Chains A and B, each alone.
Chain A
């Protein structure tokens, strides 16, 4: 059974701080996706990484896929209140690229 563990579960920081959240598994995935979800809404895709060791940057967000394609990290530089939300990682596997989601990291950025 493929499982994705995200850490930390909760993170409360001040505006301007940097943070890193992690997504780990013992399974190999064909792709790894990061989503952000706001209360009462569906998840919104931030990035997809498919190559081991791949690093992608999206403004202040940096995503990395582990060399063995089993883990990933999301680093946010100079966090802003607008970054507040639930960050979900999802691993793709199988012929139809079924997504397995982690439980998420709930981030609160205070002004």
Chain B
């Protein structure tokens, strides 16, 4: 069964350092999402791609976060510089359709900023 792949699974970094997360969606899925899930809360959408275009990045802290999906397939989310409050689970999801009614989530990257 096809799955969304994410790496790394765990990342520990010091504040002010740069970190990057990678996501490979299910083959053929046009829509890709990055979510942040703080402990004890539900996931919050950071950015949504339709193919290679950003369609929603209203909750992305653009002063330090960036995301790209250059060829409309895999995607990278970067934080520079990392802050203590960025410690969270970063989840990637994909859906086959624009409507995104069925989103398939990857296992996430758990980030700890010291």
Contact = CB atoms under 8 A, between A and B. Distances in A.
B48 A48 contact: no
A4 B42 CA distance: 10
Given A42-B107, A101-B44, A96 B99 contact: yes
Given A98-B48, A99-B100, A42 B106 contact: yes
Interface residues of B, number: 26
Interface residues of A, number: 23
A102 B50 CA distance: 24
Given A31-B101, A42-B107, A48-B101, A96 B42 contact: no
Contacts of B45: 98-99
Contact of B48 (A31, A44, A96, A102): A96
B102 A92 contact: no
B72 interface: no
B102 A48 contact: yes
Interface string A87-111: 0101010001111011110000000
A101 B40 CA distance: 12
B105 A44 contact: yes
Interface in A1-59: 4, 31, 33, 35, 40-45, 48, 50
Residue among B43, B55, B98, B108 facing the most chain A CB atoms (10 A cut-off)? B43
Contacts of B108: 40-42
B91 interface: yes
A96 B100 contact: yes
B101 A92 contact: yes
Contact of A45 (B4, B91, B103): B103
Interface of B: 4, 31, 40-45, 48, 50, 55-56, 91, 93, 98-108, 110
Interface of A: 4, 31, 33, 35, 40-45, 48, 50, 88, 90, 92, 96-99, 101-104
Given A42-B93, A98-B100, 20 more contacts: A40-B107, A42-B4, A42-B91, A42-B105, A43-B91, A44-B105, A45-B102, A88-B43, A92-B101, A96-B50, A96-B55, A96-B98, A96-B99, A96-B100, A99-B100, A99-B103, A101-B44, A102-B42, A103-B41, A104-B41
